[in-house]
Amino acid sequence: MANKIQRARTPHAPQHARFGGGRQPPHRTQNDLPAETRTNVAALCNARLADTMDLMHQAKQAHWNVKGRNFIALHELFDTIAAASIEWMDLIGERVVQLGGLAEGTIQATAGRTELEEYPLHAAHEREHVAAVSAALAAYGKRVRQAIDQADELGDKDTADIFTEVSRGVDKNLWFVEAHQQADD
């Protein structure tokens, strides 16, 4: 499998502890969740936002570059995954702001935070893309399920519900992609 993305640090890289260490979210809100809960959930959401943005870009990479007998089906499937990822990014990023935080969705923040494996840039054949996208979806799904539990433990059932919605979509898309692998078994 591909190596982890090199986490380049630049002077413009975001401060990853922005919402940690007891600091309050930067925007006032009348949301009745305790400030500490909102701070911690905003950090959790920003971590998953980075993974979601990475997943979207990985799906687009596969969409653009897939080759093989099932080209059109996979080309369209990978685009569907990218589109779903954009919806998930919106849900997660907007939740950060609803909690009084700052959604950190730049490419630099994504590259510095994503926990997904780096996509194999030289993949061309459909089997390579199916394997890479299914691995990314599986890893992303695992982190989203962990986020459901974390948000619930932090006392934010609304955010847990958002992650539950995302999880269902991830599992559905993983099923669609894995069906192409299972056909080769």
Domain boundaries, given as residue ranges, for the chain: 35-182
Average of pLDDT values for 135-158? Answer: 98
The reported pLDDT for the residue numbered 143 is 98
| Domain 35-182 = CATH 1.20.1260.10 | yes
Q: What is d(CA 160, CA 143) in angstroms, rounded to the nearest whole number?
A: 12
Q: What is d(CA 89, CA 103) in angstroms, rounded to the nearest whole number?
A: 10
pLDDT in tens, 15-62: 444 444 345 556 888 999 999 999 999 999 999 999 999 999 999 999
Mean of pLDDT over the chain: 88
pLDDT in tens, 82-122: 999 999 999 999 999 999 999 999 999 999 999 999 999 99
Task: Give me the residues paired with residue 67 across strands.
Answer: 125
Q: What is the 3-state secondary structure (H, E, C) of 81-138?
A: HHHHHHHHHHHHHHHHHHCCCCCCCCHHHHHHHCCCECCCCCCCEHHHHHHHHHHHHH
pTM of the prediction? 0.86
Burial zone of 70 (CB within 10 Å; 0-12 exposed, 13-18 middle, 19+ buried): middle
Average of pLDDT values for 72-84? Answer: 98
According to DSSP, residue 68 is labeled S
Which of these, 81, 84, 88, lies nearest to 105 by C-alpha position?
88
The reported pLDDT for the residue numbered 25 is 59
